[in-house]
Amino acid sequence: MRNRLRELLAEPSVLGVFATLRDPAVTELAALAGFDFVLIETEHAALSLETMEDHLRAARAHGIGTLVRVPSGEPKGILRVLDAGADGVLVPHVGSAEAARGAVEAVRYPPAGHRGMYGGSRAADYGAHGLDAREAADRLNRDTVLAVMVEDASGVDELETIAAVPGLDMIHIGPSDLSASLGRVGAREQPEIAAAVERLRAACAANGIKWGFPVGNGAYPLTAGELRELGAFMLTAGSEAGHLLEAFRATVSQAAQGASRPA
């Protein structure tokens, strides 16, 4: 029942990458490359529950943390992801304290929430942990990581009340959807995004929780070092598909340049 992501919360910051492709080898490669955790993408990528579980197994084998971005805050979907053994979930489009409380209730066992009990889940080591039901539930309540995403203007307006909800571990701003909600899709270096980050920093500091932001996002293009200086904990560095495409393009470009050299 080890939770690597919970252990990582003791670090000043962590770096993760989205896993969007079906082959769990990408999670193994992320671990071998030195990433601290993988974000398994089930909101936008076509990953099945079985495929997600294979990524979780690969991550555990290599000692890397896992966070699954779920499609929504719907409790049954969150339950299945957590029972499969994810270290935590990232719930998108949380725009109010009420939605944040709903996420907490979906993630935590009673009395802190309403997560359904099942002692034989992969999260509970199939029941081989040697704990009674109350001890196992308390341990999973303590260890399971809950992060939420604020991704629209109304959510930014509620940042202070969202951050104050007991049971949250992290808040992550989604700059792409936030830009869309502001009517500024694709615009670079948006002052509204910078202002949202400042509000996020203050709200999380006031409530003793972590915050995160993507590295090098065009709407607010900060490096990993700059984000760390601001106090960001969870840094996300694109997806494995994006890195693969970038590497392919670089290889093709280098090959084309080499082919054009005079003999």
Q: In angstroms, rounded to a whole number, what is the distance separating the alpha carbons of residues 25 and 238?
A: 17
Burial class of residue 251 in the structure, from the number of CB atoms within 10 Å of its CB (0-12 exposed, 13-18 middle, 19+ buried): exposed
Alpha-carbon Rg for the chain, nearest whole angstrom, is: 19
Active-site residue, selected from the candidate residues 44, 62, 93, 129? 44
Q: CA 255 to CA 249: how far, in whole Å?
A: 10
The C-alpha angle with vertex 164 and arms to 208 and 218, in degrees rounded to 5, equals 75
CA distance 29 to 231: 27
Per the CB < 8 A criterion, the answer to whether 22 and 32 are in contact is: no
Active site residue 55: no
Active site (catalytic) residues: 44
